[in-house]
Chain A
Amino acid sequence: MKSLSLLAVLLLATASSSGQELVVRNARLMGTGAADGPKVDLRVVDGKIAAVGESVGPVSPRTPVVDAKGRFVTPAFVLAHTWEGMDRANEVMDVTPFVSVTDAIDPTSSFFDNMLRDGVYTIHVAPGDRTAIGGLGAVVRPTALVVEEMTIVPEASVKISMIPPQGNRAAHMAKIRAALEDARRHMESKERATDTKPTGNFAADLEALQLDRRKAPLVRLLKREIPAFVSCAVAGDVTRALDLEKEFGIDVRLALGPDTWRAASVVASTKKVAVVGPRFWSEEEDPETGAVVRRFLPKVLSDAGATFAVVSVQTSLGERYLWYQAATLIRHGIAKDAAWASVTSRAAEVLGLGASKGSLDVGKDADLLVWTDDPMSGRAWVDVGVSEGRVVYERVKDRRLADLLGIQEGGR
């Protein structure tokens, strides 16, 4: 019995190391790190982009080939921050760093079904904005039906919200500070009480400290092992979030609502990618004249020199698609490259996955989409979706989409 399972393990190991290949032919690249141009081939080995160019070497007859037929090929989208895909976005208490979205993600929800269809293959699910310290977020792919198999980064973030669900902002800030100070005291007392010297192995060191499990996430935050994603509704929230960063030495990634536009230069000064959306417009009424001034946050940020990723939301008109969000940026004066980056490479960067996700450069994960039309045209659908070198979505086999659109089998 033992030898049999050993054999199975060996077989699995050979299968994964033998260089599983996929070739995409005749791609018209768009919004990639590589030079845009027609008729390019891509070779994928072991889930990574191995070669991009006019010739990617000989292809064995056993290698699966996706013929893009000169159609647009883009990197798959990266959704930098969402509270969707869970049963509930928030715990009812104010400070719950010990909960994790891993325990709340519903792989069968229509959200993940849509993400698969819409070509969003890297999704950062984090607790919602109604909790001061909401818990742990995770980065997942929509390509499996079990959370563990979906998971790319299990503990990707600690969610903090600067938006008080009740009471004023001073009290809210005090709550967050108290929780972080408490975690710091806990960490320091454990460190004093432990004889073992730090080994450099983070997990082992934390294990050696024998931390209170309920406080471990905040300790890891304080040790900068994981970043904080901090939701900000107004400009003051941004400066307060950066105060926390300074006071506690944590790594803050800003998630900005439209009314934070006054802090654009502060955001730029962080030199980090911020998360923006799904709403972009700030609207302010002059109390004296009644005149309404509307500001488009991405443009304000871009003019101030800040970089950002934008996010979508399923529940809103239009705003459910990342390509629509990117098109909205272009429509309001953001350069096309920057707009595309905000839903691909910038979004990967904000998650710390810039080296593996968000573009079609050689060496990165083969997460790519073959489109039926220009992705910006509004009428394009993902035709073939590839996640980590595996074909995970084919429109012709999407019975549900066909039903919804009233398409006969095999037709457009």
Chain B
Amino acid sequence: MKSFVRLLSIVLALAPLSADARAQGEADLLVRVKRLYVGDGTFKDDVAIVIRNGKFESVGPLKEGVAAKETFDAEGLYATPGFVEGSSFVGLPRGADENEEGSETTPELDVRAGLDLSDPEFARLLDVGVTTVVVVPGYRNVFGGLSAAFKPKPKGPPRLLRAGVASQAVAHRAPTAGNSPPGRGFFRGGGPDLFNRRPNTRMGVVHELRRGLQEGRGVASTEGWRRLYPKATGDALARAVKGETPFVFSASTATDVLAALRIADEFGVSKFYVQDAGEAHLVAAKLAERKVGVLIGPIDARFRAESEEERSGVMTAPKILDAAGATYGISRGTSDDASSLRAFLTYAVRGGLTPEKAAAAVTGRPAAITGLSDATGVVAPGLDADLLLFDGDPTSPSSTLAVVVSDGAVVRRSEARK
């Protein structure tokens, strides 16, 4: 295949250049595929994709005289946009537990400040086709801080795509983990302190959410509040309440999702989405009606999740959300083969979703939900050239991820086949 590619590049290079192509010089990459899953829920057959200066230049029928430094056009190639991981703990030293525990409410913190950018997991995500990853703060705090989007690179630190993607608010039970009610903890009889924090129940978590938003609203509206409340915390909450920073509610059970919607209503929070909602399919109609974006995952080849708190979405969840008309993406893949976004793509199709919609659920949809669709997630002119090439339909688990392109550069080539 390599020699064929080389031969073809030579042939193309010798072909008379059109005035247009000559003016612009050689493109960086030319890819011809049997089928492209565009990332927006559609597909196109027999298209050529031209990449120049890290961006998609054109997508469509092959134009005469286009020359490129490198060409991929082996028979039967399939392409999707690079996968977009909408919710990850990659690079967090303690993963889901990575929080400042001095307070439940730390919306002023930025996940970037504690991130280990040399974590090899960033580069490993490239092996399974993830070209964009949103890193969120840990779940121990009700207001955890700001998330950020990165693009993993094969060598060196990932490229920061966007800071302040969303302000995280946790609506599930994780902030109660390890907390014990006053009088039952290590320091018996004491009130909440560093070692014996509130909250202890789901109700307590929701109360903390309400309190924080109340304070945020207060700071946003009156000087009096501003004087009372620590400036950074208050300002951060006020920004989110006013919709300057979107909120992301982390919610696992259907109850959590409904609590998040209720809270958003009470405080007029306009810009928000929901993540980690393993049970979102149980409230699919509600999410569709409210037009709230939701990230589910990990999804599972099983029909039923193991434990209540670690709910993973069932295989049929994407199809149920789709049928209800909800805006959904699939996230929480790892670099492990069988629990990667690539695997979720297969499960979603097995659960009844069409391949083109399943491909969108791990690319364009999570990009749109996290507000990154002006940069990546879809194969369209002007967007970052993040592209995956497969030697067969990517929804079939036997197809190999052959090439990974990130920002126009080939960052992975598979040696598995041929």
Residues of A within 8 A of B (CB): 280-281, 290-292, 294, 299, 314-321, 324, 326-328, 330-333, 336, 339, 374, 376-379, 404-406
Q: A316-B338, A321-B301 are in contact. Are A376 and B416 (CB under 8 A)?
A: no
- 28 CB contacts below 8 A, A to B, read A281-B337, A291-B120, A294-B127, A317-B338, A318-B301, A318-B397, A319-B338, A321-B301, A324-B301, A327-B398, A328-B338, A328-B397, A331-B397, A331-B399, A331-B401, A332-B416, A333-B417, A376-B396, A376-B397, A376-B398, A377-B396, A379-B349, A404-B303, A404-B316, A405-B316, A406-B316, A406-B320, A406-B352
Q: B396: which of A292, A299, A316, A378 is its contact (CB, 8 Å)?
A: A378
**Which residue of A is nearest B401, CB measured?**
A331
A318 to B396, CA, bound (A): 12
Q: Which residues of B, 389-403, contact A by the 8 Å Cβ criterion?
A: 393, 395-401
Q: Which residues of B, 342-366, contact A by the 8 Å Cβ criterion?
A: 343, 346-347, 349-352
B400 and A378 form a contact (CB under 8 A): no
**Which residue of B is nearest A401, CB measured?**
B303
**Which residue of A is nearest B334, CB measured?**
A317
A324 to B298, CA, bound (A): 18
Q: A292-B120, A317-B343, A405-B316 are in contact. Are A324 and B395 (CB under 8 A)?
A: no
Q: Which residues of B, 402-418, contact A by the 8 Å Cβ criterion?
A: 415-417
Q: A290-B120, A292-B124, A324-B301 are in contact. Are A378 and B397 (CB under 8 A)?
A: yes
A294 to B337, CA, bound (A): 12
Does residue B339 face the partner (Cβ distance < 8 Å to A)? yes
Using Cβ atoms and an 8 Å threshold, which residues of chain B touch A324? 301, 338, 346, 397
Chain A min CB distance to B279 (Å):
15
Q: Which residues of B, 177-223, contact A by the 8 Å Cβ criterion?
A: none
Chain B min CB distance to A401 (Å):
9
B397 and A327 form a contact (CB under 8 A): yes
B19-35 Cβ-contact flags toward A at 8 Å (1 or 0):
00000000000000000
B400 and A332 form a contact (CB under 8 A): yes
**Which residue of B is nearest A376, CB measured?**
B398
Does residue B302 face the partner (Cβ distance < 8 Å to A)? yes
A280 to B395, CA, bound (A): 21
A148 to B287, CA, bound (A): 51
Chain B min CB distance to A336 (Å):
8
Chain B min CB distance to A393 (Å):
17
B339 and A377 form a contact (CB under 8 A): no
Using Cβ atoms and an 8 Å threshold, which residues of chain A touch B351? 405
Using Cβ atoms and an 8 Å threshold, which residues of chain B touch A321? 301
A316 to B303, CA, bound (A): 12
**Which residue of B is nearest A380, CB measured?**
B350
For the complex, count residues of B whose C-beta is within 8 A of A: 34
Using Cβ atoms and an 8 Å threshold, which residues of chain A touch B393? 377
Does residue B85 face the partner (Cβ distance < 8 Å to A)? no
A290 to B123, CA, bound (A): 13
Using Cβ atoms and an 8 Å threshold, which residues of chain B touch A326? 398
A378 and B416 form a contact (CB under 8 A): no
B337 and A328 form a contact (CB under 8 A): yes
A354 to B297, CA, bound (A): 41
A378 to B343, CA, bound (A): 10
Q: A318-B338, A327-B396 are in contact. Are A378 and B349 (CB under 8 A)?
A: yes
A294 to B346, CA, bound (A): 23
Q: A378-B349, A379-B349 are in contact. Are A330 and B398 (CB under 8 A)?
A: yes
Using Cβ atoms and an 8 Å threshold, which residues of chain B touch A377? 393, 395-396
B300-315 Cβ-contact flags toward A at 8 Å (1 or 0):
1111001000000000
Using Cβ atoms and an 8 Å threshold, which residues of chain B touch A406? 316, 319-320, 352
The list of the 10 closest CB pairs from A to B, nearest first, reads: A318-B338, A327-B397, A333-B416, A327-B398, A330-B398, A378-B346, A317-B339, A376-B398, A404-B303, A317-B338
A24 to B107, CA, bound (A): 65
Q: A320: which of B127, B298, B302 is its contact (CB, 8 Å)?
A: B302
B300 and A317 form a contact (CB under 8 A): yes
B397 and A379 form a contact (CB under 8 A): no
A406 to B343, CA, bound (A): 22
- Given A378-B350, A378-B397, A379-B349, 14 more A-B residue pairs with CB atoms under 8 Å apart are A281-B336, A290-B120, A294-B127, A314-B302, A317-B343, A318-B301, A324-B301, A326-B398, A327-B396, A328-B337, A331-B398, A378-B346, A379-B395, A406-B316
Using Cβ atoms and an 8 Å threshold, which residues of chain B touch A328? 337-338, 397
Residue among A291, A332, A377 having the largest count of chain B Cβ atoms under 10 Å: A377
A404 to B399, CA, bound (A): 27
A41 to B336, CA, bound (A): 41
A318 and B400 form a contact (CB under 8 A): no
Using Cβ atoms and an 8 Å threshold, which residues of chain A touch B400? 331-333
A324 to B338, CA, bound (A): 9
Using Cβ atoms and an 8 Å threshold, which residues of chain A touch B306? 315
